[in-house]
Amino acid sequence: MRTQTRGFDRPKLGLAALVAAALSFPGVARAEGPGVLRQLDSALSQLAERVSPAVVHILVSGYGPAGTDDGRTDTALIARQHAVGSGVIVDPSGYIVTNAHVVQGALRIVVVLPATSSAQARRHAMKKGVFEARVIGTHQESDLAVLKIDAQGLPALPLRDTTPVKQGELVFAVGSPQGLASSMTMGIVSAAARETGLDAPMLFVQTDAPINPGNSGGPLVNADGEVVGINTFILTRSGGSQGLGFAIPAPVARFVYEGLRKNGRVQRVELGISAQGIAPSLAAGLGLSRDWGVVISDVVPDSPAEEAGLRRGDIIEAVDGRPIDSTASLLASLYRHAENRPVQVEVLRASDRLKRQVRAVEVGHPIDEVADLASPDKHLVRRLGVLAVAVDDKIQQAANLRAGGGVIVAARTLDGIGVDSGLVQGDVIHAINRTAIDSVEALRLALESRKAGDPVVLQIERSGRFRYLYFEME
């Protein structure tokens, strides 16, 4: 049986602690204690009033592994699923940052504005405060996604990217834990740059502010109402908060947001190496000169790294002048680097310190090559509002598609003529209403034969999975 704690029991303990803390401050007389608490109470209320209107409730529907009676998942059974998460409005025109895992596999995304949001923005929604959202882009390495809703004049919060967050700084987690929208919890920064694993690709802000399922994608804000992190996961044995919450640092969130909004992806250069964190046992076994940092474990043949003379066993000291002490800092340096100049790499080889200039190559994106092939004159499918290219053997291999044939969506157009089909860049259309599609012309003809109000079902392949998109012709 589930055990519940009465809501009025725990605040009494917190209040007593606050009273003791307030009265213990140097220079504060005991008689002034209640006044200090009232000031604190007022400050927290003002903060909530400023922050909460920009934090949204996200409802996602899709398909995933079905659950069993004992709490496990059965990957052989696929069931309709509904999930909840949180997000933060970072631009008044309707751009929202959340976690990539919140919207992964989504068929439909609904954003619900809090009751305190702008009345002007809410009047534009079909239902009060409810908006259909579309995905602008996702970035799996950082677990971030950018959504867009059709609204203007929304309250927004800035992503702080200047002063680094500090250990001990007072922070607040805002979101929808267990679906309870606009919930706010308080804590401190337990660690400003926590590495959760030796080869973890990112450093996180660790906090003891209570975070629970449903908080994912919501903001971690400071006392000034600035976003210092995007809440992403917790470490727990019970499934609930145990004071070990982790947030993606705001500078990372801002960098990813700007890349996704501008290009639909985040650019990063590649050197042609594999690197991993150094543990004492690894250093001892390989005879490395130190037992911390990052070591090159592989150099790809004919890569820029091999051309520059990097070798397996080299310890990476710095990239572009920035010290490298973890795989996360190495990855961050490669994201910061501009493609049009060499990467300055300093390595430690035995007792020698070497400097190498490595040719920068942007990490390849197969869809970019497809987009380069598309032209509005030849590949526009006006009734869907997309540019589409027929899939050949080269495209199938480059995009790692499961099935041959069909046409791939190279880009979406913004002329407003196409229906809201749900197609995104990279989708492959294999059939319309069971009729196979093998060329752009076949796609156009199949659409032209349908009049307004006719049902249309597209069989598509997206991220290695088949699904149906359905709508009525306009």
27-46 per-position pLDDT tens digit: 444 445 577 888 888 888 99
Residue 41: CA count within 13 A, CB half-sphere: 10
366-472 topology per CATH: Pdz3 Domain (2.30.42)
Catalytic residues: 101, 143, 216
Backbone phi and psi for residue 376, each to the nearest 5 degrees, phi listed first: -60, -35
Question: How far apart (Å, rounded) are the C-alpha atoms in residues 261 and 259?
Answer: 6
Backbone phi and psi for residue 428, each to the nearest 5 degrees, phi listed first: -110, 120
Decide if pLDDT at 64 tops 80: no
Residues 6+ apart with CB under 8 A from 266: 139, 142, 255, 256, 259, 260, 335
Average pLDDT, the chain: 81
Judge contact between 97 and 144, C-beta under 8 A: yes
Distances (CA, A) of 398 to 51, 327, 367, 402, 405: 44, 28, 8, 11, 14
Secondary structure (H, E, C), 311-358: CCCCEEEEECCEECCCHHHHHHHHHHCCCCCCEEEEEEECCEEEEEEE
Domain spans in the chain, listed from the N-terminal domain onward: 9-49, 50-266, 269-362, 366-472
- Res 129: pLDDT: 84
What are the start-end ranges of the H helices in 365-409?
366-373, 376-379, 393-398
Judge contact between 106 and 152, C-beta under 8 A: no
Q: Tell me the residue type at 186.
A: M
Question: How far apart (Å, rounded) are the C-alpha atoms in residues 205 and 185?
Answer: 16
Q: Tell me the residue type at 42.
A: S
- Percentage of the residues of the chain whose pLDDT score is greater than 90: 39
CATH homologous superfamily for the domain 269-362: PDZ domain (2.30.42.10)
Decide if pLDDT at 164 tops 60: yes
Summarised one tens digit per residue, pLDDT across range 251-307 is: 899 989 998 888 777 878 889 898 999 989 999 998 998 999 999 999 989 999 999
- Res 21: pLDDT: 52
- Dihedral of CA atoms 392, 395, 398, 402 in degrees, nearest 10, equals -70
DSSP assignment, residue 307?
H
Higher pLDDT among residues 246 and 386, named by residue: 246
DSSP assignment, residue 156?
-
Question: How far apart (Å, rounded) are the C-alpha atoms in residues 2 and 235?
Answer: 21
Decide if pLDDT at 368 tops 70: no
- Res 6: pLDDT: 31
- Res 238: pLDDT: 66
Helix 33-51 × helix 9-24 angle, to 10°: 120
Q: Tell me the residue type at 71.
A: G
Instruction: Decide if 269-362 and 366-472 have a common fold.
Output: yes
What proportions of the chain, in percent to the nearest 5, are helix, strand and coil?
25, 35, 40
- Res 263: pLDDT: 77
Token duo for residue 264: 């639909």
Task: Summarize the confidence of residues 153-177 as an average pLDDT.
Answer: 89
Question: How far apart (Å, rounded) are the C-alpha atoms in residues 366 and 433?
Answer: 28
pTM of the model: 0.65
Summarised one tens digit per residue, pLDDT across range 423-467 is: 877 889 999 998 999 999 999 999 988 888 888 899 999 877 788
Summarised one tens digit per residue, pLDDT across range 300-351 is: 899 999 999 999 999 999 999 999 988 888 988 888 887 678 999 999 998 8
How many C-beta atoms lie closer than 10 Å to residue 159's C-beta? 24
Strand, coil or helix: 32: helix
Which overall architecture, per CATH, does domain 50-266 show? Answer: Beta Barrel (2.40)
Beta strands 144-148 and 170-175, pairing class: unpaired
Q: What are the DSSP calls for 207-252, one per residue?
A: E-S---TT-TT-EEEETTS-EEEEEEEE--SSSS--S-EEEEEHHH
